């Protein structure tokens, strides 16, 4: 089942993936960002001014009335009534004359970036800057696919976001505090964040894009049903070493896989198993078919002649097991999650569990504890499942989620386990929020009962971040706690004080 409206968007800020494109009045949902939020400065403005539109969060000429970087309020100097109560975006829509400002004391880092065309999907690229990075400024490499009004304007973009500073209130600390915290001695600079990008030609809208865990390659599902393989190495090197030339041939897909025969799809995932370092992907389409494709010596790709079947609805998500080479999970609009073994001669699933009475949009396999799988559905419910209970369905027994949450009241558009913490999960919803959760919080914990006066807040909810029309969220695995989201208003990069 396709999750894009028949008519194309009429503006870069229009809706993205998911049937929940209908949003509240745009004029009633303008976001004003505080002075502490950095805006992106393009070092290659003359060369790439057509590729990326930079959001000047502090431009006093901004039509939304942003504040100056120096901390002075923009606009005509009229007094403004400020409501400092906790605002829950998922529970109330902003009024016509209301604006929403994030609390700067809740973030270690917060940046926003606008682009020419909305991105349905993106992924974080592995970089050579080291793991466990905690010092500021931070740097993030991304690959994203666009949803342009005209098909010929679409592209796959490789981005480098550098100079990501922490919030100002954390810059004024003593040397002793610096030493005791996270080795943030480089965070005193006042330089603005910088956006650099390289674009590859893409003939149509990208429904989903995923970066290879083994190399600077990506695979994307197009709305035409084709699967494109991209070699991003030249573009990454160009961003890493400015001045490096990119051959014209590198700006096109290295391979186009057509096994889905023009049936649109959204599900795609790379195997992370070391034995699949050459490249192995699973892809699923709206007809319920799943194909396995493997890269051979010389760069060619081979796809299994017959698909894996079993779902009665569209395949919405595929996730390879982090520890079993041939095992993967699929989530579908038929409300089930199924476990497959790619070696099975029958081409059918081994296990199936009823997860939701609505579409299961997204899933995430826990890397830290491989028997845990998180799912998110169209009814706004997301949960965590213990895969060790799935075989009970073969005995006719009912299987329930280990944890299930109904906090969100609109479709879940993205869910992802923290890369190293088995209890931390990020969730994105069509209610324009990114929420962070800690499943280890006990219900009887006295401290967890304090919800700031807001009702119906689960104690496991750590943080709520507003991001208009958010569609996908990922952790930066090499920089603990850094979260990136994409939506109708571009990208946001943040790190909270709670994770």
pLDDT at 49: 43
pLDDT at position 150 over 80 = yes
> Phi and psi of 376, rounded to 5°?
-135, 140
Q: In a 10 Å sphere around its CB, with 0-12 CB exposed, 13-18 middle and 19+ buried, how is residue 416 labelled? A: buried
340-352 per-position pLDDT tens digit = 999 999 999 999 9
Domain assignment present for 469 = yes
pLDDT at 322: 96
Q: Is 330 in contact with 315 (CB distance < 8 Å)? A: yes
Q: CB count, 10 Å around CB of 137?
A: 19
Q: Is 453 in contact with 86 (CB distance < 8 Å)? A: yes
pLDDT at position 23 over 80 = no
Q: Is 425 in contact with 417 (CB distance < 8 Å)? A: yes
Angstrom CA distances, 41 to 113, 161, 194, 196, 317, stand at 10, 10, 5, 9, 35
pLDDT at 141: 98
Show the domain range for 233: 108-169+191-442+457-496
DSSP class of residue 125?
P
pLDDT at position 21 over 60 = no
| 122-136, 372-386, 451-465: segment of lowest average pLDDT | 451-465
Average pLDDT over residues 272-289: 97
pLDDT at 499: 87
User: Residue ranges of the alpha helices (H) in 223-379?
Assistant: 233-240
Q: CB count, 10 Å around CB of 83?
A: 7
Return the closest-CA partner of residue 28 out of 115, 114, 100.
Answer: 100
Average pLDDT over residues 410-423: 96
Say which residue, 65 or 156, is predicted with more confidence: 156
pLDDT at 30: 45
457-474 per-position pLDDT tens digit = 899 999 999 999 999 999
Confidence bin at 221 (pLDDT 50/70/90): very high
Confidence bin at 181 (pLDDT 50/70/90): low
Domain assignment present for 371 = yes
> Can you spell out the DSSP letters for 450-474?
--TT-SS--TTEEEEEE-TT--EEE
Domain assignment present for 435 = yes
Return the closest-CA partner of residue 318 out of 186, 208, 482.
Answer: 208
pLDDT at 40: 52
Angstrom CA distances, 179 to 167, 175, 183, 185, 193, stand at 18, 6, 6, 8, 24
pLDDT at position 140 over 80 = yes
What is d(CA 112, CA 487) in angstroms, rounded to the nearest whole number?
11
Domain assignment present for 183 = no
Domain assignment present for 448 = no
| 16-25, 113-122, 290-299: segment of lowest average pLDDT | 16-25
Q: Return the bridge partners of 483, or none.
A: 475, 494
Average pLDDT over residues 202-215: 96
> Can you spell out the DSSP letters for 158-193?
EEEEEEEPPPGGGTS--HHHHHHTT--TTTT--PPP
pLDDT at 175: 43
pLDDT at position 378 over 60 = yes
Average pLDDT over residues 54-59: 42
Say which residue, 252 or 93, is predicted with more confidence: 252
Average pLDDT over residues 114-119: 90
| 30-34, 225-229, 254-258: segment of lowest average pLDDT | 30-34
Confidence bin at 405 (pLDDT 50/70/90): very high
434: Cα within 13 Å, side-chain hemisphere: 29
Domain assignment present for 16 = no
Chain-centre distance of CA 443, in angstroms? 29
Confidence bin at 64 (pLDDT 50/70/90): very low
- Residue % of the chain over a pLDDT of 90: 68
Q: What is the CATH number of the domain that holds 368?
A: 2.130.10.10
Confidence bin at 180 (pLDDT 50/70/90): low
Return the closest-CA partner of residue 113 out of 495, 494, 489, 496.
Answer: 489
What does the mean pLDDT of the chain come to?
83
Q: Give me the number of domains the chain comprises.
A: 1
Say which residue, 30 or 71, is predicted with more confidence: 30
Domain assignment present for 491 = yes
Domain assignment present for 30 = no
Confidence bin at 29 (pLDDT 50/70/90): very low
Q: Is 291 in contact with 282 (CB distance < 8 Å)? A: yes
The pTM of the full predicted model, rounded to 2 decimals, is: 0.80
pLDDT at position 81 over 80 = no
Residues sharing a CB contact under 8 Å with residue 54, sequence separation 6 or more, in sequence order? 39, 40, 41, 42, 113, 114, 195
pLDDT at 264: 97
Average pLDDT over residues 390-418: 96
pLDDT at 80: 57
């Amino acid at each position: 089942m396709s999750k894009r409206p028949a008519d194309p968007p009429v503006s870069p800020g229009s809706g993205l993936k998911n049937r929940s494109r209908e949003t509240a009045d745009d004029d009633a949902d303008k976001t004003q960002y505080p002075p502490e939020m950095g805006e992106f400065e393009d070092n290659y403005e003359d060369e790439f001014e057509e590729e990326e539109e930079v959001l000047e969060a502090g431009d006093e000429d901004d039509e939304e009335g942003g504040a100056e970087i120096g901390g002075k309020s923009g606009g005509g100097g009229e007094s403004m009534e400020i409501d400092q109560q906790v605002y829950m975006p998922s529970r109330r829509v902003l009024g016509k004359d209301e604006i929403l400002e994030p609390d700067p004391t809740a973030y270690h880092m917060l940046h926003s970036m606008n682009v020419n065309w909305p991105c349905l999907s993106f992924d974080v690229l592995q970089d050579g800057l080291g793991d466990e990075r905690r010092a500021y400024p931070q740097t993030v490499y991304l690959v994203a696919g666009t949803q342009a009004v005209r098909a010929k304007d679409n592209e796959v973009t490789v981005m480098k976001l550098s100079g990501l500073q922490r919030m100002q209130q954390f810059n004024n600390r003593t040397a002793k505090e610096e030493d005791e915290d996270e080795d943030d001695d480089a965070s005193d600079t006042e330089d603005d964040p910088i956006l650099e990008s390289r674009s590859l030609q893409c003939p149509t809208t990208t429904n989903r894009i995923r970066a290879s865990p083994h190399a600077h390659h990506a695979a994307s599902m197009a709305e035409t049903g084709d699967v494109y393989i991209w070699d991003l190495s030249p573009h990454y090197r160009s961003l890493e070493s400015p001045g490096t030339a990119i051959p014209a041939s590198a700006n096109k897909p290295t391979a186009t896989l057509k096994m889905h025969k023009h049936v649109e799809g959204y599900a795609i995932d790379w195997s992370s198993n070391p034995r699949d370092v050459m490249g192995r992907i699973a892809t699923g389409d709206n007809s319920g078919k799943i194909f396995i494709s493997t890269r051979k010596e010389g760069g060619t790709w081979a796809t299994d002649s017959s698909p894996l079947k079993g779902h009665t609805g569209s395949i919405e998500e595929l996730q390879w097991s982090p520890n079993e080479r041939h095992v993967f999970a699929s989530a579908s609009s038929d409300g089930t999650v199924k476990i497959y073994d790619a070696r099975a001669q029958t081409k059918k699933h081994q296990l199936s569990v009823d997860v939701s009475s609505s579409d299961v949009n997204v899933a995430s396999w826990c890397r830290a504890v491989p028997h845990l799988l998180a799912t998110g559905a169209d009814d706004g419910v997301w949960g965590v499942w213990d895969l060790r209970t799935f075989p009970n369905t073969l005995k006719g027994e009912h299987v329930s989620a280990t944890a299930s949450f109904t906090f969100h009241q609109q479709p879940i558009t993205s869910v992802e386990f923290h890369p190293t913490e088995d209890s931390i999960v990020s969730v994105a919803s069509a209610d324009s929020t990114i929420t962070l959760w800690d499943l280890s919080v006990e219900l009887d914990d006295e401290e967890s009962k304090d919800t700031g006066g807001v009702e119906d807040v689960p104690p496991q909810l750590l943080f709520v971040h507003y991001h208009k029309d958010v569609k996908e969220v990922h952790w930066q695995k090499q920089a603990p706690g850094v979260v990136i989201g994409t939506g109708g208003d571009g990208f946001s990069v943040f790190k909270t004080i709670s994770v």
